[in-house]
Amino acid sequence: MILDKSEVRKIAQLARLHISDADVDEIGHRIKEILTLVDQMQSVETKPVEPLYHPFDAVQKLRPDVVTERNNREELQKLAPKAEMGLYLVPKVLD
Amino acid sequence: MEWESIIGLEVHVSLSTKSKLFSGTASTFGAEPNTQANIFDLALPGTLPAFNENALQMAVFFGLAIGAKIGKRSIFDRKNYFYPDLPKGYQVTQLDFPTVGKGSLTISLEDGTEKVIGVTRAHIEENAGKSLHEEFTDQSGIDLNRAGEPLLEIVSEPEIKNAKEAVAYLKKLHSIVRYLDISDAIMAQGSMRCDVNVSIRKKGDNKLGTRTEIKNINSFRFVEKAINSEIIRQQEVIEDGGTIIQETRRYDANKDITSSMRSKEVANDYRYFPEPDLLPIVIDDSYISSIQSALPELPDAKQRRFISDYGLSKYDAGVLTATRELAEYFEQVAKKCGDAKSAANWVTGSLLALLNKDDIEIIKSPIDAERLASLIGRIKDNTISGKIAKNLFEIMATNFSSVDELIEKRGLKQVTDVGEIEKLITKVLNDNPNQVQQFADGKEQVLGFLIGQAMKASQGKANPEQVNELLKEKIKQKR
Amino acid sequence: MIEKTATELSRLLSSGSLSSVELTRAYLDRIAKANDNLNAYITICEESALEQAKKADERRAKGFRHPLLGIPLAHKDIFCTDGINTTCGSRMLENFIAPYNATVVEKFEDVGAVTLGKTNMDEFAMGSSNETSYFGPAKNPWNIKKVPGGSSGGSAAAIAADLCAIATGTDTGGSIRQPAAFCGVTGFKPSYGRVSRWGMIAFASSLDQAGPICKSAEDAAILTSVMAGLDNKDSTSVDKPVEAYSATLNKSLKGLKIGIPAQHFRDGLSSEVERSIKEALKVYEQMGARVTEINLAHNHLSVPAYYVIAPAEASANLSRYDGVRYGYRCENPVDLEDMYKRSRSEGFGAEVKRRIMVGTYALSAGYYDDYYQKAQKIRRLIKNDFDRAFEEVDVIIGPTSPNTAFDIGAKKDPVAMYLEDIYTIAVNLAGLPGISVPAGFSEGLPIGMHIIGKHFEEAKVLNVAHQFQQETEWHKQKPKFGLED
């Protein structure tokens, strides 16, 4: 198991978490410990085993195509850190 | 050096369901910002998706229309990335088990031949919202009305050879989707969007070149121009000794160039995994056959029928079946007037010219099928001449009275009375002695001029065949 | 009277000798006295509780009857409550007021239960000790130097110290059962899909399940029958009729086949806990049950598999906390990236961030097969073990946790903490129902017994738990906490 600083930073970037230089080693160390625990899984051969994504076999239910929700923008935007003119505001999006 | 290009299209079509893919929020175009964004759409904590049955039906409908293999067990996955217009921080899509598998559609090429283009797959997924940059300085406004709308992403095989084929493919797709009535598919409004993958290679090479992706092109014309401009760019890069970088590009229609979208391309890692809040969608044969039975006649079949039933040319039949509405219009006209060929000529000619001039949809045509049919009927029963009919057609575009009323009020009825026509001709011959003399000298071309004068004198109402016949008779007598 | 079970209180209420307003006031008084020390509640709803109590008394006067009508209830602060803060134990949602009710909350309101407040929990339910709560840990009423367990520690502590009559919890890897064991109360996790997850803030979607924390299996039966049932808002909710759990509580256990997993009695298990569970099994044998050893061969892999699946699902579930539409946003972000990163880093605590990182890693390119998919394969093996065992036995019994409650601050190492859930996690992976009931004490701290049933055999599990409580007094023991004054 290799988990160097750059890898920790790469994961933090994917997860949009900020990690200070002071913390990067500690966090890397902790994650490594968890991954060591997790790696016990590699002790069993699972090639022919089907993954189980849900605890039991059930199939997706279908919802009738009916509009059930009403506009509730004013209430909902009270929850927002920043909203104006009906829009949620964020620092400029650059693509 | 001779190059060939290989093109693949990813087309996103907004499904015209009443509610969103996973919530009961309305999903109509053009609402005030965030008035169609409720608790699930905003990804409030604790909310869960509930799958819209109509989206599934529409996807299967499309799949059957392109002869695709329908996924009996399709699975939703989460595609993870952060973007302000993506409220959950993941998009629900179908990665390995799409609802629609391999299918194909046929396009007609300019030389009249046909080509089959493979469709790799079509999967159901959620749309994202919109970021608006203009209103604010340093900030963007997020509108989530679109977030969670159902999309069908249709992926073609890389079997398209050039820009013209790409547009033909796109138009065919548009036509099928409209025939099925599963989407408005209006590119300008974003209910149909297109990403294009382009690569080039030396003619004869087997290996595919590195491809670039041009994102979000919003008209058929720009698709064509963007592809052509990208092909030329790639050729120039390689011929100058450079290499093509796999990247996402955008098309600038003003400058007619494509440019790289991200200077620092960070490799995306979407961390797909099966969406645990949704279960596998399992459909059986009876579900599929019930949808199959609702399938309308599709453009290709309709075109074949128009050729065999109405004796139309392949070209005309193709034009008339481009949209379901146009085909329906044509068939109404043909049935009412009893002359399919005339109907086809009028619809493909004058009517489409009229509509195209002001970009009017066929269902909003100022001349409905009923009126066009009676116009044709009045030509056939010799009430009016073809030439008068052309003028009348123009009048009908702005005056909505019935054809017969217009003919009556404006006195457009054709003159077929022999005595009256003879009078006209006598006057024309007397007024144009020079031309009559020329005819007598053997210059037969002046006949046309004299006929024209006679028609003019009748204000176009005289029956041209009669004028022709009687004039010939009279002028011979004069000689 | 606040020490009574809901069943007992319900009798008093329907006899007219007690009103819901009086009862609610008694609990509010108790909360006022004890909560500062116990930190079991994050939010207390005094005013609305008294209003609901008044309404309950009025409904009773009009003839409405339900065993939970007027009974004071505490919700784990993971359930969205319309108009009341829902924090999920996180700074991220410190000021979040949901504009809607969780289905579970709605169902309790429908039958007239009175919401006293929202209980403390590990942040986003990620923890086994309540120490990851942004609002400080709840304390164990049996010894306030000890943890109450987690993540539903606030609910378990509140039940144990009589700060409410009944409570809700959620269980992703043991979060109802382990705190119930640590606090000496009854905690039941029904089968996955039995109780709607709508409005219950997601930790790991394929594992999360809501259930009751209360004072007896008899109460648990009533609560479960209220909470359970199909909900079309939750696609994973199951369309199976809800059984009358209370009706089958007294079925005889004669001939009941109990399976004892060898793997649940191995290293790490404290001898005191082992002794108590073995004593309990003797009680069952006296009732006519037969005990046989079973083999859950892959149980040791449940913790490793869980620490891939749960963080992976959580890493995506927690992406919505981005500071855009609700929740915490950092001060003066310089750009979009800065807003994301600082809002999330300042809004989430260390354990949550750790699990997001692990989950992100397990799903990232090149690792998916070795981690996420591998874990789901192991999950299949674990389920198969249970399926095989259940061909031979009716229920499986063992300890809920290898040890009794530990000291606050004692487990600094996350992995050591994770291993405390070695008996409970497999049950979530397989989606089975499991209950923890009090079964003894060690050095003044409660010991929990774990009873696992087949899929959707909630009735059987409750029956087996109730019969034990008919023969023993462990569930009636009360901590001395706060009783001195």
Would you say B270 and B80 are in contact if contact means Cβ atoms under 8 Å apart?
A: yes
- The angle subtended at Cα B396 by Cα B390 and Cα B400, nearest 5°, is 165
Upstream peptide bond of C128 is cis (omega within 30 degrees of 0): no
- More confident: B109 or B266: B109
CA of A78: which chain C residue's CA is closest? C326
| Structural element, H or E, at residue C375 | helix C374-392
Output the pLDDT for position B174. 94
> Could you tell me where the DSSP H helices lie in B352-417?
352-358, 369-380, 386-396, 403-409
Contacts of B32 in chain A (CB under 8 A): 73, 86
Look at residue C49 and tell me whether its pLDDT is greater than 50. Answer: yes
Domain topology for B418-478: Arc Repressor Mutant, subunit A (1.10.10)
- More confident: C448 or B324: C448
Which of B26, B131, B282 minimises the CB distance to A59?
B282
A23-52 as b/e: b if 16+ CB within 10 A: bbeebbebbebbbebbeebeeeebeebeeb
Q: Which CATH class is domain A5-42?
A: mainly alpha
Q: Report chain B's mean pLDDT, rounded to a whole number.
A: 92
Chain A nearest-CA distance from B279, in A, is 5
Output the pLDDT for position B263. 46
pLDDT digits (tens, 9 = 90+) for B350-391: 999 999 998 898 999 999 999 999 999 999 988 888 888 998
Output the pLDDT for position A56. 80
Look at residue C440 and tell me whether its pLDDT is greater than 90. Answer: yes
Give the span between the Cα atoms of C429 and C309, in whole angstroms: 9
Pairwise CB contact (< 8 Å): B46 & C201: yes
The answer to whether B232 faces chain A, any CB pair under 8 Å, is no
Contacts of B34 in chain A (CB under 8 A): 73, 76-77, 86-88
Structure tokens at C439: 């079964």
pLDDT tier at B265 (50, 70, 90 boundaries)? very low
Q: Measured in whole angstroms, how far is the alpha carbon of residue C444 from the centre of its chain?
A: 22
Residue C402 located in a structural domain: no
Give the span between the Cα atoms of C57 and C54, in whole angstroms: 5
Structure tokens at C368: 């998916």
Output the pLDDT for position B111. 85
Considering the candidates C10, C175, C246, C436, report the single residue annotated as catalytic.
C175
The answer to whether B270 faces chain A, any CB pair under 8 Å, is no
**What is the residue type of B257?**
I
Mean pLDDT value across residues C72-87: 98
Q: Which residues contact B122 (CB under 8 A, 6 or more apart)?
A: B59, B62, B63, B68, B98, B99, B100, B103, B152, B153, B154, B155
Using left for φ > 0, alpha for ψ between -120 and 50, and beta otherwise, residue C254 falls in beta
Look at residue B311 and tell me whether its pLDDT is greater than 70. Answer: yes
Give the span between the Cα atoms of B36 and A64, in whole angstroms: 18
- Which residues 140-159 on chain B approach chain A with CB closer than 8 angstroms? 140-144
Pairwise CB contact (< 8 Å): A65 & B36: no
Output the pLDDT for position B266. 56
CA of B150: which chain A residue's CA is closest? A65
Output the pLDDT for position A2. 54
Output the pLDDT for position C482. 64
DSSP string, B141-156: EEE-SSTT-EEEEEEE
DSSP string, B308-328: HHH---HHHHHHHTSSHHHHH
The answer to whether C300 faces chain A, any CB pair under 8 Å, is yes
Judged by average pLDDT, the poorest of A55-59, B126-130, B194-198 is: A55-59
- Which residues 47-76 on chain B approach chain A with CB closer than 8 angstroms? 50-56
- Give yes or no: C129 in active site: no
Would you say C228 and C331 are in contact if contact means Cβ atoms under 8 Å apart?
A: no
Residue C362 located in a structural domain: no
Considering only the C-alpha atoms of chain C, give the largest distance between any 2 of them, rounded to a whole number of Å: 70
Q: How far is CA B398 from CA B197, B326, B388, B393, B474, in A?
A: 45, 20, 16, 9, 41
Structure tokens at C359: 């989950």
Query: What is the predicted ipTM?
Result: 0.97
Would you say B73 and B97 are in contact if contact means Cβ atoms under 8 Å apart?
A: yes
Output the pLDDT for position B436. 84
Domain span at residue C153 reads 6-255+453-476
pLDDT digits (tens, 9 = 90+) for C162-195: 999 999 999 999 999 999 999 999 999 999 999 9
Give chain C's domain count: 1
Q: Where in chain B is the domain with CATH 1.10.10.410?
A: 418-478
Output the pLDDT for position C483. 54
pLDDT digits (tens, 9 = 90+) for C203-252: 999 999 999 999 999 999 999 999 999 999 999 999 999 999 999 999 99
Look at residue C484 and tell me whether its pLDDT is greater than 60. Answer: no
Would you say B115 and B310 are in contact if contact means Cβ atoms under 8 Å apart?
A: no
Could you tell me what percent of chain C has a pLDDT over 90? 97
Residue B56 phi, psi (nearest 5): -65, -45
DSSP-derived secondary structure letter, C383 = H
Output the pLDDT for position C26. 98
Look at residue B293 and tell me whether its pLDDT is greater than 80. Answer: yes
pLDDT digits (tens, 9 = 90+) for B160-217: 999 999 999 999 999 999 999 999 999 989 999 999 999 999 988 888 889 999 988 8
Q: In chain C, what is the straight-line distance between the N-terminal and C-terminal CA atoms, in Å?
A: 16
pLDDT tier at C431 (50, 70, 90 boundaries)? very high
Would you say B366 and B406 are in contact if contact means Cβ atoms under 8 Å apart?
A: no
Q: How far is CA C391 from CA B128, C385, C386, C388, C396, in A?
A: 48, 10, 9, 5, 12
- Give yes or no: C139 in active site: no
Contacts of C357 in chain B (CB under 8 A): none
**What is the residue type of C172?**
T
Judged by average pLDDT, the poorest of B49-53, B404-408, C71-75 is: B404-408
Pairwise CB contact (< 8 Å): C236 & B279: yes
pLDDT digits (tens, 9 = 90+) for C287-342: 999 999 999 999 999 999 999 999 999 999 999 999 999 999 999 999 999 999 99
Mean pLDDT value across residues B244-251: 91
Judged by average pLDDT, the poorest of B410-414, C95-99, C115-119 is: B410-414
Count of other CB atoms within 10 angstroms of residue B94: 23
- The candidate with the shortest Cα–Cα distance to C118, out of C204, C9, C6, C39, is C39
Give the span between the Cα atoms of B113 and B117, in whole angstroms: 13
- What does the domain layout of chain A look like in residue ranges? 5-42
Residue C482 located in a structural domain: no
Residue C121 located in a structural domain: yes
Structure tokens at B435: 């031309």
Output the pLDDT for position B471. 84
Give the span between the Cα atoms of B58 and B180, in whole angstroms: 8
pLDDT tier at C31 (50, 70, 90 boundaries)? very high
Give the span between the Cα atoms of B125 and B71, in whole angstroms: 15
Output the pLDDT for position B479. 60
Considering the candidates C129, C151, C155, C401, report the single residue annotated as catalytic.
C151
Q: Report chain C's mean pLDDT, rounded to a whole number.
A: 97
Output the pLDDT for position A95. 62
Output the pLDDT for position A46. 95
Output the pLDDT for position B264. 43
**Burial zone of B105 (CB within 10 Å; 0-12 exposed, 13-18 middle, 19+ buried):** buried
- Chain A residues touching chain B at CB-CB below 8 Å: 14, 16, 53-54, 58-73, 76-77, 79, 84-93, 95
Mean pLDDT value across residues B116-121: 98
Would you say C422 and C268 are in contact if contact means Cβ atoms under 8 Å apart?
A: yes
Structure tokens at B345: 């000529």
pLDDT digits (tens, 9 = 90+) for B47-57: 999 999 999 99
Residue B424 half-sphere exposure toward CB, CA atoms < 13 A: 27
